[in-house]
Amino acid sequence: MRSFRYIFTLLLFSIISFTAEAQEIKARVLDAETKEPIQYANVLFGEHHGVVTNDEGYFSFTTGKLPKSIKISSLGYDAQELDPNEVQNKTILLKPSTIELGEVFLSNKTLTPSEILEKVKDEVPNNYDLGLGQKRVFLRQSYFTNIKKFKMEVDESTIPGIDQNLMDRITAEMPKFTDSYREVLGDLYGNYDNQKFKIVKAANLYNPENSQSLEQLTDHLEEAFRKNLKKGSFLKIRSGIIGVKVDEEELEESMADLEKEKKEKTPEEIAESNAKNQKYLKENATQTINSLLGNIFWKKDIDFDLFEKTRKYELTLEGYLRMGENTVYVINFEPKRGADYKGKIYVNTLDYGVHRLDFENVKPLSKFKLFGISTSKDVHKGKMIFTRNEQGKYSINYLEQEKGETVGLDRPLTIIEKNRHVPGRNKQNELDLDLDFRVGEVEKVQLVVYEDRPLDKTDYEKLKVKDDFEYQKFKTYNADFWAGYNIIEPNAAIRKFSALEKE
């Protein structure tokens, strides 16, 4: 019989061997002339395998065996094929490519930008991989909250502890900017219309300061009312012409719920909460990916209307760029007749496939204001980058969408405690506040495709996706969580992320 020492040594050797084989390659890609980072450049390191650079030009990938070569390419630059041993922790400079007019493919007549976009629409069924596929994807959702204005003025308060000093202290301590991030790695099955998403691993960089000041305010109010409310009291809450009544039973239930939330959870309650969080995360990630694919540029009835309402845009052929062996038109678009977006589209001169599309809104998509409440959908921008697969079809390489809204409230708030059972005045206590705030919220979604394979319809229909996967919440950035997995490199804001509560 073999000794435990022999088995332990063999096991340790196997672990060391595996670790040695799994290598991480890191580098940065810059413009050779300007030394500016090249964002979302394609980095191919094997069949069906690739990554993109982040917004700072960095990329990384983990591989069990070093590939023979690494190919880096980006619109407007000469591609480079490099030895992976010469890439690690290096800066890679890509030279801008030059285009000779004689190299540009021209039809029998020179096409106008409008005619080029018409051909783009006509060739979608031929150019794009619309069939079923299996993709390894990484989804990053970034959430940003910016408090542009926040004022709480106490006009009257008969409740001890609730005064202007409290409101000023809370306002001063409230963080004006907070961020949080959700990252999901998984396998996406389906096409642009139907998807099934199997999550492999997920992390949440959570910032409790997002709601800390609001919780502090509600805690103070709860404690103050708890100490001063008399038996049999009810509250009348009014904001402008809108009012509600909260009776004693509802108050007790609300306060009991708050107390329950503060109590330490049992292991069973923690397990139940984690299961709910995982289910919600999966549903949210699936809906987010569905929304990204459902808003691809050729879809109808989407907010980005360049291809449905081309006549509302001023189109300009800015020039040509090199993309590998291909040449692309560079078309700029701006609003002409009340359109909402501006941007650039890069179209192959031979087959009219779109290599890349960048857009952003030039005005709010919608506004609403009534009774001191206002909303403005003021941010909508995105990127779509496609590469050709082995079948010669254009397939998703990178999708990005950013949506934001500003919400405002400028209204009075009055809380009156009334009690019919206490001798004397019916009104017991009163709090009058003037609220004036504007808060902007932005969600940025990034989807990177690393592997892309065709999928049989029968296999897709039989596929069942389970809810179990590894999921953790962090209050500081944890680089080890994604060790051994390929993701889009975190930028500086994510690497520096820290959401430790105040002492």
From 97, 120, 155, give the residue that closes a domain: 97
In a shared domain, residues 149 and 93: no
Looking at residue 105, its amino acid is F
- DSSP letter assigned to residue 401: E
For the chain, the domain total comes to 2
pLDDT at 371: 79
pLDDT at 259: 63
Let me know if residue 139 belongs to a domain: no
Closest by CA position to 203, among listed 490, 450, 452: 490
In a shared domain, residues 391 and 253: yes
In a shared domain, residues 218 and 290: yes
Let me know if residue 23 belongs to a domain: yes
The CA distance from 289 to 250, in Å, is 40
Let me know if residue 388 belongs to a domain: yes
| Spacing of C-alpha 216 from chain mean position | 28
Q: What is the pLDDT along the chain (503 residues), one digit of tens a residue?
A: 343 333 333 333 333 333 344 567 888 889 888 999 888 888 887 665 678 888 888 888 777 677 778 888 888 888 888 887 778 778 889 888 765 545 455 443 578 999 999 999 999 999 999 999 999 999 999 999 898 888 889 999 888 878 898 888 878 877 888 888 999 999 999 999 999 999 999 998 876 655 555 566 666 666 666 677 777 777 787 776 566 776 767 666 666 665 666 667 777 777 787 778 888 888 999 999 999 999 999 999 999 999 999 999 999 999 898 877 788 999 999 999 889 999 999 999 999 999 999 999 999 999 988 878 899 999 999 999 998 887 889 999 999 999 999 999 888 888 888 877 777 677 778 889 898 989 899 999 999 998 888 899 999 999 988 878 889 888 888 888 888 887 888 878 787 776 544 43
Looking at residue 256, its amino acid is A
Let me know if residue 316 belongs to a domain: no
The CA distance from 341 to 298, in Å, is 16
In a shared domain, residues 81 and 170: no
Instruction: Tell me which residue has tokens 């009991």.
Output: 256
In a shared domain, residues 32 and 88: yes
In a shared domain, residues 264 and 396: yes
- List own/partner pairs for 452-458 with CB under 8 A and 24 or more apart: 452/48, 452/133, 452/134, 452/135, 452/389, 452/395, 452/396, 453/48, 453/133, 453/134, 453/135, 454/131, 454/132, 454/133, 454/134, 454/391, 455/131, 455/132, 455/133, 455/134, 455/189, 455/190, 456/132, 457/132
In a shared domain, residues 15 and 72: yes
Spatial neighbors of 239 by CB under 8 A, at least 6 apart, are 411, 412, 413, 414
In a shared domain, residues 162 and 23: no
Spatial neighbors of 67 by CB under 8 A, at least 6 apart, are 45, 46, 84
Let me know if residue 487 belongs to a domain: no
**Which residue segment(s) compose the domain that 414 sits in?**
145-186+214-303+365-447
Let me know if residue 263 belongs to a domain: yes
In a shared domain, residues 150 and 218: yes
In a shared domain, residues 28 and 166: no
pTM value is 0.81
Q: Are 307 and 298 in contact (CB under 8 A)?
A: yes
In a shared domain, residues 421 and 288: yes
pLDDT at 20: 40
Let me know if residue 70 belongs to a domain: yes
**First vs last Cα of the chain: how many Å apart?**
57
Rg (CA), the chain: 28
Let me know if residue 274 belongs to a domain: yes
CATH code of the domain containing 85: 2.60.40.1120
In a shared domain, residues 162 and 91: no
Work out the number of other CB atoms within 10 angstroms of the CB of residue 150. 17
